[in-house]
Structures are given as structure tokens and as C-alpha cells.
Amino acid sequence: MFQFQHIDYLYALALLPVFIVLFVSLTYWRKKKLRKIGDETLMSQQIQGYIPGRNTFKFILLTIAFAAMVVGWANLRMGDKTEKVERKGVDVVIALDVSKSMLAKDLQPDRLTRAKQLIMRLTDKMKNDRVALVIFAGKSYMQVPLTVDYSAVKMILQNVSPDMVPSQGTVVADAINMGMESFSRNERKYKSLIIISDGEDHDEQAVEAARKAADEGVIIHTVGVGSPQGSTLFDPETKSLKLDENGNPVVSKLNEEALKSISMAGHGSYSLLVNADEVADKLNNSLEGMEQKNLGSLMFTDFTSYFQYFLLTGFILLIAEWLLPGARKIAKLKKNEATA
């Protein structure tokens, strides 16, 4: 089974379309310049060492070399040796509030960014737990189903924004219900739901939904993001402060009481997000303190890496591109026979 050890490095491949667009644009610009000077074919012949298609070939070599080196850095590898190991853990659904109030800056750089940082820290501390990611505002959406691939959760998390949920609000009950759909109905334990929100404009059904979830064995923890004093909101459409119907600046405040009520109904704990590492430790300790189910499975314990082949390929292509001579300058035109 092939896999990448450092999958995040593959993001660099997104630069390839940019390189292609820049190359095509530059080629078009050069041809346009030649047409202004004279006949394009004639002018090309005056360039020392001109070979048709050479620039394109050199660009292709550089592009393939770049792609090969990126894949090499990501370290493509294959598992060779498997071992039966005992894995124990719980199923965890993380529900992240992405309503526009999460863009308030009473936490720097903003509430949503700090919430993402918390999830990153938490997944770094997890070992065998399966984790899922749900985003919610006026409606909930499953982003990552239960998985032990924490890198996939981090990858999706980086692109999460309020624009992904068109309907606004903080419908925690819907997030709880979606989380419940992710869990096995045959088990009455080994399940936890973590709600990360500012609690603003929450729905009244959230506490009842948390109580029902607890009855089915789900432990619900809540994390408050923001400050009770609150902060004004920036409206990206008007590029100014968001105003209410009376023309006054809208102030978004953390609703701790709502989040505490939800965690109490869910037999869990409430945490105020001040230090991401401390809150992540607290949540991870709570998860480790739960009764865990046996997740025994085959795991790869020995790998063969192939990064050296990709790096060597990239290096050879770079040398080949460098050795190809380039067209240096326009040669001097022959004197007009009439003046010879």
C-alpha cells in the first residue's frame, strides 16, 4: 500500500497551473513584441541559436522537475511489514461553528482561526481515536466522516470558512443531530461530541438535543470562543463595521451560559478558549478517561521510501535544462545591399 509521509507538501503542486499560465502569457507577450518589430518568422531567424519549440521544451523539463521534487519531499512510501496491534480509542465528532460572528476579533487574529488552532492541537495529541469534522451555522454539514487520518481533517480544516454555510445562525441542535448520525447506533458508549462555538444566537432545542444524545451514551463537551465583552463585526460586503437596523455597530458576545447548559445536559465539560494547548490537553484527558473500545487492526510497521528516485529525477531534469543552450540576443542584420 502506497502512501505519502508528508502529504501537506503536495499543496505545492497547486503552483503548477500558475506556472503554466505565466509561461503562456510570457510566450504570447514575446510573439506580440516580435510582430511589432517585423515579420515574426524573419525576426525569429535573427535570434542567435534559435530553435523552434526549445523554450517550451525547457519549460516542460522545469515543470516536471518541480513536480518530481515535490513528490520526493512528500516521501512516497510503501508499507512492507504488517503487525497485528491492539488499538483502543473512542469516536469523536468535532462540531465547529462557522457563523459570521466567528470572525469577530476579540481573539486574535479572529475566533474562527483560534478555533482551528485548537482542533489542530487536539488532533496532534490524539493517538487511536477516530475523529469526524462537522461545520455548522444555520445548517450543519459533514466535512470529514469518522477516520484515523488526522492529516485529512487538518487539510479540510484549512479551507473552512463562513462562506461554506449560506444560512446564518448558530443551530447547535442540528450539529448535535448530525454528529449522532456519525456514531454507531449499536453502541451506548465510546462516543464523544465536541462543540466549538461562540454560542451566539443559539437555538433553544440545543439543550434538549444534548440531553437525548447523552441518553444514547454520547458525552458532549463545549468550548467557548470569544469574550463576554464581545467585539464589533466587520462586514466584507460594505467593507465597514456591521450595523443593526438602528445604525449602531453590531457587537458579538460569547454566550457562555448557553454552552455551559449544553455541556451539563451532555454530561461533559465546558472550557473557555484562552490557551489552545491547555484546552486541547483538557479535552484529550477527558477522552482518554472514557471507556475505550478495541480497535485492533493490522498496521504497517516498516516502510520502503522512494523519495530518492523522485529527487534524482528532478535533479537530472534540472541539469538537462541547464545544459540546453538558450537563445541569447538578436544578431546584427546584414547591411542593405543598396548601401553595401
pLDDT at 223: 97
Please choose, from the candidates 266, 268, 98, 91, the residue with its C-alpha nearest in 3D space to the C-alpha of residue 182: 91
* CA 262/CA 251 separation, integer angstroms: 23
Q: Let me know: does 167 contact 137? Beta carbons within 8 Å.
A: yes
Average per-residue pLDDT for the chain: 84
pLDDT at 274: 94
Please choose, from the candidates 132, 111, 66, 124, the residue with its C-alpha nearest in 3D space to the C-alpha of residue 225: 111
The secondary element (H helix, E strand) that includes residue 134 is strand 130-136
Please choose, from the candidates 11, 18, 19, 26, the residue with its C-alpha nearest in 3D space to the C-alpha of residue 62: 19
Amino acid (1-letter code) at residue 119: I
Within 8 A by CB and 6+ apart from 56, the residues are 27
ω into 325 cis (within 30 of 0): no
pLDDT in tens, 228-251: 888 888 776 677 788 777 778 888
ω into 228 cis (within 30 of 0): no
pLDDT in tens, 246-280: 778 888 899 999 999 999 999 999 999 999 999 99
pLDDT in tens, 190-207: 899 999 999 887 677 899
Q: Is the pLDDT of residue 333 over 50?
A: no
Give Cα separations from 267 to 118, 141, 206, 207 (angstroms): 21, 24, 14, 11
* CA 299/CA 211 separation, integer angstroms: 37
pLDDT-wise least confident of 93-102, 137-146, 178-187, 240-249: 240-249
Please choose, from the candidates 307, 333, 11, the residue with its C-alpha nearest in 3D space to the C-alpha of residue 159: 11
Q: Is the pLDDT of residue 136 over 90?
A: yes
Domains of the chain, start order:
2-81+302-335 (no CATH), 88-294 (3.40.50.410)
Which position has the grid cell 513584441? 33
